[in-house]
Amino acid sequence: MHFSICSSLCISFLQNMRSMRLFLLFAFNYLLLLEAYRFTEETDKQSLLEFKSKVSEDKKAILSSWNNSFPLCSWNRVKCGSRHKRIIGLDVRGLQLGGVISPFIGLNSFSGAFPPPIYNMSSLELLNIAYNGFSGSLRPDFGDLLPNLEELTIGSNYFTGAIPTTLANISNLQKLAMELNGLTGSIPPSFGKLGNLQVLSLGSNSLGSRSFGDLEFLGALTNCTQLNVLTVSRNRLGGDLPASISNFSMNLTILDLYKNFISGSIPHDIGNLIGLQQLSLGNNLLTGALPTSLGKLSGLVEFSVSSNKMSGEIPFSIGNITQLGKLYLYNNSFEGTIPASLGNCSYLLELIIEHNKLYGTIPQEIMQISPLLLLSMSSNSLTGSLPKDFGRLEHLVNLSVAHNKLSGKLPETLGKCLSMEGLYLQGNSFDGSIPDISGLVGVKEVDFSYNNLSGSIPRYLANFNSLEYVNLSYNNFEGKVPTEGKFKNATIVSVFGNSNLCGGVLELKLKPCFSQEPAKGTNHSSSKKKVVVGVCVGMSLLLLLFIASVSLCWFKNRKKNKTNEAAPSAVGAFHEMISYGDLRIATDGFSSNNLIGSGSFGTVFKALLPADNKIVAVKVLNMQRHGAMKSFMAECEALKDIRHRNLVKLLTACSSIDFQGNEFRALIYEFMPNGSLDMWLHPEEVEEVRTPPRTLTLFERLNISIDVASVLDYLHVHCHEAIAHCDLKPSNVLLDDDLTAHVSDFGLSRILLKFDQEYFLNQLSSTGVRGTIGYAAPEYGMGGQISIHGDVYSFGILLLEMFSGKRPTNELFGGNFTLHSYIKSALPERVLDVMDELILHNGLRIGFPVAECLKMVLEVGLKCCVESPMNRLAMSEAVKELISIRERFFKSRRRDRH
């Protein structure tokens, strides 16, 4: 139910029920803004009847008018609004009601400052106002005014300022939960006086100063002998981890210090905390080795020290943690071998030890952990082969051993891991053929690239209905590539770097397959000779035809006294070409009615290809513009061999002569019906006929940013050669039917491994400046070398623009005052001041922590567009952070529904 009621309503309940020692629970869950309009007078009525049903039997007579015989607004103690006839007030003071307060008078979305009347309720024992929109700071004398509180829960609001030190005066306080706010300052060490404290939850704030002294409170909390849960994750706490944490109560089950700036090493006596079930120390600055005393924590279920600077060997004693369910040691510098004792952790579900310096073989004992769901050992220096009995891991969903030094044949039992969804073996030296994995029908992603695998590509892969990505590049596969099923879609299949493959769909650009089997009764040697002769004759004819064609072109060009450049070799990569005449017909004579955009080197038209009744986008190059041919060549070269779902697909090209004898170049792309991101972000600048039907929601913007980040990560790291886009901006991000983003316009792109000094100097001349003003990296303007870091800068600016609604070239900015400094100066407290106000009016639920979500996204943008190229966030990290933010958004949606 949704109630439009003020805080005084709930205060009325408090004043009425305080004498009966009934705890008040403000179950204020946030709702979608639009959903508020779905509630009616009937839902109000049903909610009050639910409330009445929970009142004790001897008091129900007082609410006798609450029934279907009377109009809702005539019910006793009920007040309705004058216009909409919905309930706006409910007063039950003095009725001495008993029973349980129904949750149906909660699922509200209060906002504004903390209600002052609550400070007058000195007898209050429980206060829970989580998941609302309250803001402002708490009074410094909070604890003195409410001395009898046993539980204070104000998480998921917008409170700012310091934590009142007077909270330490509430001697009976058992639970203090203030997570997901904007609190700043220090955590009061005086909390150590709270002898009854069981839960202290302060995560996801801005507490601390990233310096020594921030962790003083930890030593003080060792006096809280009842402490069960301590979480201060996602703050700004700095300084060395004190050894005193080993003296915490043995009642402590959760210690969560994740994502701060904590340095030092893990205390040797951490094993004293024998009651721990979760120890989260990931994303900090910890150094040193893992203490062997960890083995004493036999009840530990989750242990994380990921993304730190730790080193040394993984202690053998870790195998004594027999209840361990999740072990995260990734992104450190651990070395040595993987301890075989891990096989004792028979309840282990997730083992992630990627991105370390581990060597040696994969222990056979790990194959004994049958519940294992996720196993990632990638980016180490592991040697040997995969254990033969891998099939014992029948519940394994994801396996990654990529980028190691593994070799040998893949085990036949791999096909018995029937739950497999992700199989990542790339970057090793595996040889032989792919074993029978036809049983892995639920697999979504398969990457066998950069190995020495051979044999044919299994045809059953084409029938895997869930398959979204298969990479077989740079191996020794041979024979015909399937053309049915999933292999029809070249955007999810990668097979380049296998010289003996043939066939496949046209988009894979492989050589055709020829049968070389002799007919029955035919001499094999003679058949072979015939084939050789035929091939030689054919090649000779092709050579003559080629020479004649080149001579003819040269003659025509000379006759016209022109110095046109030859058509780029990259165009030859397309199996199907299209003529100028066909494009002229498809665009209705390049009519302005079909014009959908224009850029530096050309104009884009919407076209209908009559052959297959397909709508496409045609980019016609302006050949009179200096650099247009280089742009055409760059785009063909960049897109001919790359495939990604968030790239605009280049279908074919046209290299021809128009009807006046002029040189004509065009590129044909798949058509994106929802236009560019630019027109969605700035609809006021778009012609009325093309204005988007609505604005983008916060969630849609987040999805689009992840799409763009993913494709940049692919171009920078996962292509056969690194590619810099060099002109990322909203107008080059196109949206399909479901608003999935596709990056376009590779006219300025660079394949970085094909870099040479002469070309570099040409491109940095006054006529070849890289990118667009406002989005181009600052080093490009000073003649700096083109790199993937320039794309990261452009992405950062794009991200800031997407969520602020302001272009980097806005008239507001000038001199040292830029979009970057404008956003940075507003974080974290004034983040809503810089948010695109259209976001607030499009699909946001009341009470959703918009400020927290937006702050995290903009921080990613700021880290991407710092001035120093080497200090910018890698695109892979940007993808991870944005996905993490999206997952958090999903969680809040699920929590809202339940």
CA distances from 4 to 24, 104, 212, 295, 466 (A): 19, 13, 46, 54, 46
According to the model, what pLDDT value does residue 848 have?
Answer: 59
Set 447, 727, 745, 836: catalytic member = 727
- Report yes or no: 224 and 197 within 8 Å, Cβ to Cβ: yes
Q: Please count the other Cβ atoms lying within 10 Å of the Cβ belonging to residue 121.
A: 18
Lowest mean pLDDT among 338-352, 584-598, 664-678, 819-833: 584-598
Token pair, residue 701, equals 């913007």
Beta bridge partners of residue 742, listed in sequence order: 734
Percent residues over pLDDT 70 in the chain = 79
Q: What is the pLDDT of residue 445?
A: 92
Where is pLDDT greater, at 704 or 83?
704
Distance CA 787, CA 278 (A): 42
- Name the pLDDT band for 762 (thresholds 50, 70, 90): very low
Torsion angle in degrees (nearest 10) through CA of 126, 127, 131, 135 = -160
Nearest to 826 by CA among 849, 803, 793, 807: 803
Compute the distance between CA of residue 511 and CA of residue 501 in angstroms, rounded to an integer: 8
Tokens of 330: 């990734």
Across residues 345-363, what is the average pLDDT? Answer: 95
Mean pLDDT along residues 295-299: 94
**Confidence at residue 585, expressed as pLDDT on a 0 to 100 scale:** 87
Query: 566-671 with 676-898: one CATH topology?
Result: no
In 157-316, beta strands by DSSP E: 158-161, 175-177, 182-183, 199-201, 229-231, 238-240, 254-256, 261-263, 278-280, 302-304
Percent above pLDDT 90 for the chain: 45
Give the pairing type, strands 254-256 and 278-280.
parallel
pLDDT of residue 180: 92
Active site residue 436: no
Q: E strands within 302-435?
A: 302-304, 326-328, 335-336, 350-352, 357-360, 374-376, 381-382, 398-400, 407-409, 422-424, 429-432
- The model's pTM is 0.57
Answer yes or no: is pLDDT of 401 > 90. Answer: yes
pLDDT single digits (tens) 103-136: 566 576 667 788 888 888 888 999 988 888 889 9
Reported in sequence order, the residue ranges of 132-235 that DSSP labels E, i.e. its strands, are 133-136, 151-153, 158-161, 175-177, 182-183, 199-201, 229-231
Per DSSP, what are the bridge partners of residue 422? 398, 445
The pLDDT confidence band at residue 160, using thresholds 50, 70 and 90, is very high
The least confident of 257-266, 551-560, 627-636 is 551-560
d(CA 488, CA 480): 14
Gyration radius of the chain over CA positions: 33
pLDDT band with cut points at 50, 70 and 90 for residue 83: low
Give the pLDDT confidence of 799-846 residue by residue, as tens digits.
Answer: 999 999 999 988 888 777 889 998 998 888 888 888 887 776 655 554
pLDDT at 305: 96
Quickly state the pLDDT bin for 444 (edges 50, 70, 90): very high
Per-residue pLDDT tens digits for 692-741: 767 888 889 999 999 999 999 988 888 767 888 888 999 889 998 888 99
494: pLDDT strictly greater than 50: yes
Query: Cis bond leading into 828, ω under 30°?
Result: yes
Predicted local distance difference test score (pLDDT) of residue 569 = 46
Return the pLDDT at 25.
34
Evaluate if residue 284 carries a pLDDT over 90: yes
| Predicted pLDDT of residue 31 | 30
Q: What is the average per-residue pLDDT within 412-424?
A: 93
Measure Cα distances from 135 to 156, 166, 369, 638, 700 in Å.
10, 20, 48, 50, 26
pLDDT at 665: 85
Residues 5-9: what's their mean pLDDT?
31
pLDDT tens by residue, 11-58 = 333 333 333 333 333 333 333 222 333 456 777 788 888 888 888 887
What CATH code is assigned to 566-671? 3.30.200.20
For residues 168 and 183, give the distance between their C-alpha atoms in angstroms, rounded to a whole number: 17
What are residue 154's phi and psi, to 5 degrees?
-130, 25
On the question of pLDDT at 248 being above 80, the answer is yes
Specify the DSSP element, H or E, that contains 78: strand 78-80
Instruction: Label residue 7 by pLDDT band (50, 70, 90).
Output: very low
Instruction: Tell me the domain boundaries of the chain.
Output: 7-105, 383-515, 566-671, 676-898
**Which has the higher per-residue pLDDT, 94 or 310?**
310
Average pLDDT over residues 351-356: 94
Q: In the prediction, which pLDDT does 766 show?
A: 34
Place of tokens 């094999």: 524
Q: How confident is the model at residue 603 (pLDDT cuts 50, 70, 90)?
A: confident
Report, at the CATH architecture level, how domain 676-898 is classified.
Orthogonal Bundle (1.10)
Of residues 431, 430, 477, the one with CA closest to residue 458: 477
Q: What is the mean pLDDT of residues 773-798?
A: 88
The CB density around residue 801, as the number of other CB atoms within 10 Å, is 26
Rounded CA separation 559/580 (Å): 22
Q: What is 383-515's CATH number, 2.120.10.30, 3.30.70.100, 1.10.150.120, 3.80.10.10?
A: 3.80.10.10
Of the pLDDT bands very low, low, confident and very high (cuts 50, 70, 90), residue 550 is low
